Structure 1
Amino acid sequence: MNDPNGPFHWRGRYHLFYQYNPAAPAHTNIHWGHASSPDLAHWDRHRVALTPTPGGPDEAGCWSGCVVDDDGVPTAVYSGIDRNHAGLSSICLAVAEDDGLMDWKPVPAPVLTGPPPGFDVTMFRDPFVFRFGGRRWALVGAGHADGTPSVLVYDCEDLYAWRFAGVLVDGRDPVASRTARLPGSASTGWECPQLWETPGGDWVLAVALWDGDPRATVYLTGRLLADAHGNPRFSPRAGGPLDHGRDFYAPSVLQHTEADRALLWGWSWEARPQQDVDRAGWAGVLTAPRVMDVHEDGTLRVAPAPELELLRASEPFGAGPLPDAYDLEITARSPATVGLLRSAAGAELTVGLDPADGTVILDRSDWPRSRPDGSGPLVLRTPPGAQLAVRVLVDGSLLELFAGDRAMATERVYRRPDDVAELVVSGEDVQVRCWEQGPPNPA
């Protein structure tokens, strides 16, 4: 699996789709997988939702997109590519034929066969539909021949008749330019655009940085304004990395209006050698759902969805052997270090906290990876204070770290046979509680 797609709340259940190859752990032959949940914690896996149509606009893959309620008809809006796509997708639709969203019927003709004329667009994909000013609009991620990344916007009040409405924001915007030029992550295209409104009225735009390969994901916060023609334009005021870890990309957001919150999932790719992936027979995981909001200074506020506490065992512990899946809370009032994993050579995977300095340091230096992007300590910064809280979610190789409500990092840490997983706490004023996470729903 790779990108999460189309999170959707329908008839009391959360539905989550995802790019999926049912035949092999390889990034090709992309279908849409499907899972649903009543509570964001216990998930049922369902049969494949979208399948490429031989000879159709999606014959080479049903790629990223979203799901919308089109006057009572759940409708998937997604990138379809044919055998000659050259980086440009068509925008395709498929409609659900039952309330359980198990059966989907593709619409034969795409609503868009490519980018607007005259824009010299070399990358065009990943539609995302939202509402603004009483109308329905869609974003499409793009890159231009001169190297400028952008997010295009369309009027799609009629989901079957799209009108190009210009550029929402592009890489020439000063705030966007600074944000998207992270070290080692310059981009020529922005893909998987996601846009949502926070309870306080701020808007957040997330884009995945692409330069021929996936690099990182960033966010921009700001205002959504109407231009002279009523078309939406995004005015950023702040931004930064959406996730500070090395193993997070292509997020998807659910604007859950009934609960007045935005939920976000990301894709965590494999960081192990391909031969290990082939031996395991699977590749890719999705992160836990995260609740997204904005601080007064325009920076991102993030926390794991509270429903994840439903997976906790009845009693916490404060030290000792660690299970394969656990939920860890750390609260420090002075410098502290929490060890999670120890190698046979004595190296440790640790989380260090310094409240006065406002830093959280994840040291994963001794756990090698196949991706050429370094392995030194990762530093997350929070406002200095008298107390610092950290949450760590681990499920097998997936580690998700939340530094207060200010920063998050997703990492893949693969245990070796001789590694020792043990919770070891050092520090004078630190409280640690850890819960084993329950097994997944077997249904």
Structure 2
Amino acid sequence: MSERNDRNDPHDRNTPRLHVRPAAGQWCNDPNGPLFHDGRYHLFFQHNPARPVWGDIHWGHASSPDLMTWTDHGIALTPTPGSRDELGAWSGCAVVEDGVPTAVYTGMDRTDGIGSVMLARAADEAITTLKAEPEPVVPGPPPGLDLLAFRDPYLFSYEGQRWAVIGAGHRGAPGAGGRPDVLLYRVDSLTEWTYAGSLLDAAHPLAARHAAPADAWECPALLPTGDGRWILLLSLWAADITYSTTYLIGELAPSAAGLTFVPSSGGMLDHGRDLYAATALVEDDRTLLWGWSWESRTEEESVAAGWAGCLSHPREIGVHADGTVRLAPARELAGLRGAELTVGDALPAAYEIELDAVVGHPDSEVELRLGDTVALRLNPTRGLATLDRTNAAATSHHPLPRTARVTAVVPGGTRARLRVLVDGPLVEVFVDERAMLTEKVHPAPEGVIGVGVVRGAAEVRVSGWELG
């Protein structure tokens, strides 16, 4: 659970208490720079310390020895007046260079979405403060490109060479929006960056199919799968609105300037509406993933509550033996399980439920009810998992008003499994380790656990635990 100096009531179901968010409340968005250093996981995040709305972006910081218990360390990186990050220390990654944890982030000193790449080095072993270098290592976009977005550096290594990707969007004709792109840099040292062209843009048919429409791709992250392929994460940004995050699976190939990404498949990273700007930590035997979970309530309601946004639980991302994406809760999260729950028990503030279904007739449907407001319906034959929040409709303002239901699609069969983790209003659903649905439900589900076969015939097994 989170160690906090504010709301840490184990009975509070209106505020996540197991997830990383600022201890002082206010605003939280993109996860940044996950690291494992000196026996602890470190996770940074975009944070406005003054109000629960976006603006005046700093980096907050939390750490954990085990991915379960998080300690908040307050603000790690503050914008410097008169510098290239005076309008915000925006998203990026982190590496350990010569033993020193170092943030590689977007400095903002203009209001048009065009940033610079900056470095900030840990000033102490606990990384309580990141001290920014005075000059950027990449002062802005390459000459000759007319961009409407240039931000969010992410570093990776390929065949012994370090590279970086940066999210971008090319300005289109008036009224035509933009054309998203992932720009590539060769990184010979943290202070020596060379532009190496485009890694992938929206002209590729698979990118156009799975990562469009968008004006820019934010928060690109390139992750090795261990079998020679790579997963490219892209967050879709259009007309100043954040929408959703997608993934592409493919291979890296040499190009005239550096590398190109050749996708072979792709899809939605999360089929819910409350996960964006995912980033990752690549370990020896797995890759950990975090995303930003925003609110499904209005800004006015967030201001009244005193907080907005948190990070997701850590998730593992990779590929199955058949080459499709694998998505699962981090294995350590099983350590949060406490008292067992069963059907008919009252929902605690934080809990986990596993449901296994084997159908006896085609098109049979099973339903897991979280109190009276959220229902999860599973149709193994068709490979459909639907989250229905009809009785807890979202109040958030958005160009696309939310529907009451959201559905994930996985390969069909005779059996299926749901793994559901709930922390206050945050509902995270995993379907056969092949799809995720993340939704913030305000007010948080309350009532009892209900399970039923609502159509056809099925054998259902349910296990549950209070988390904390």
The interval holding the TM-score normalised by the smaller chain is: over 0.9
**What residue in structure 2 maps to residue 13 of structure 1?**
40
Query: In 2, are the aligned partners of 1:202 and 1:294 still within 8 Å (CA)?
Result: no
Distance in 1 (alpha carbons) for counterparts of 2:77 and 2:278: 19
Distance in 2 (alpha carbons) for counterparts of 1:121 and 1:68: 27
1:4-403 aligned within 5 A: 4-82=31-109, 84-146=110-172, 147-181=178-212, 186-211=213-238, 212-229=240-257, 231-257=258-284, 260-334=285-359, 335-342=365-372, 348-369=373-394, 370-371=396-397, 372-403=400-431
Q: Structure 1 residues 136, 382: closer, same or farther in 2, change over 3 A?
A: same
- Deviation (angstroms), 1:218: 0.6
Q: Deviations over 1:282-320 (max 9, x none)?
A: 110110011001235543110000101111104343332
Q: Deviations over 1:368-413 (max 9, x none)?
A: 2124432232221222222110011111110011111110011011
**Aligned residues with identical type, % of pairs:** 47
Q: Deviations over 1:98-144 (max 9, x none)?
A: 22212221100011111000122221000001111211111110000
* Alignment TM-score, normalising by the size of structure 2: 0.88
- Deviation (angstroms), 1:228: 4.1
Query: In 2, are the aligned partners of 1:5 and 1:16 still within 8 Å (CA)?
Result: yes
- Deviation (angstroms), 1:436: 0.7
Number of residue pairs the alignment of both structures matches: 423
Distance in 2 (alpha carbons) for counterparts of 1:384 and 1:395: 29
Matched position secondary structure for 2:114:
coil
Q: Deviations over 1:174-209 (max 9, x none)?
A: 11011113xxxx201001001110122220000111
Stretch of structure 1 that moved more, 63-72 or 97-106? 97-106
**What residue in structure 2 maps to residue 425 of structure 1?**
451
What letter corresponds to residue 119 of structure 1 in structure 2?
Answer: L
Structure 2 unaligned spans of 5+: 1-27, 173-177, 360-364
Query: In 1, are the aligned partners of 2:375 and 2:388 still within 8 Å (CA)?
Result: yes
Matched position secondary structure for 1:58:
coil
Distance in 1 (alpha carbons) for counterparts of 2:83 and 2:411: 52
What letter corresponds to residue 202 of structure 1 in structure 2?
Answer: R
* Alignment TM-score, normalising by the size of structure 1: 0.93
Matched position secondary structure for 1:308:
helix
Q: Deviation above 4 Å: which 4+ runs of structure 1?
A: none
Q: Structure 1 residues 282, 420: closer, same or farther in 2, change over 3 A?
A: closer
User: What root-mean-square deviation, in Å, do the aligned CA atoms of Structure 1 and Structure 2 show?
Assistant: 1.4
What letter corresponds to residue 283 of structure 2 in structure 1?
Answer: H
- Deviation (angstroms), 1:421: 2.1
Distance in 2 (alpha carbons) for counterparts of 1:51 and 1:39: 27
Matched position secondary structure for 1:302:
strand
**What residue in structure 2 maps to residue 345 of structure 1?**
none
Matched position secondary structure for 1:275:
helix
Structure 1 unaligned spans of 5+: 343-347, 439-443
* Higher normalized contact order (CA 8 Å, seq sep 6+, divided by chain length): 2
Q: Deviations over 1:299-343 (max 9, x none)?
A: 31100001011111043433321011111100011231111121x
Query: In 2, are the aligned partners of 1:237 and 1:298 still within 8 Å (CA)?
Result: no
What letter corresponds to residue 306 of structure 2 in structure 1?
Answer: G
Stretch of structure 1 that moved more, 65-74 or 8-17? 65-74
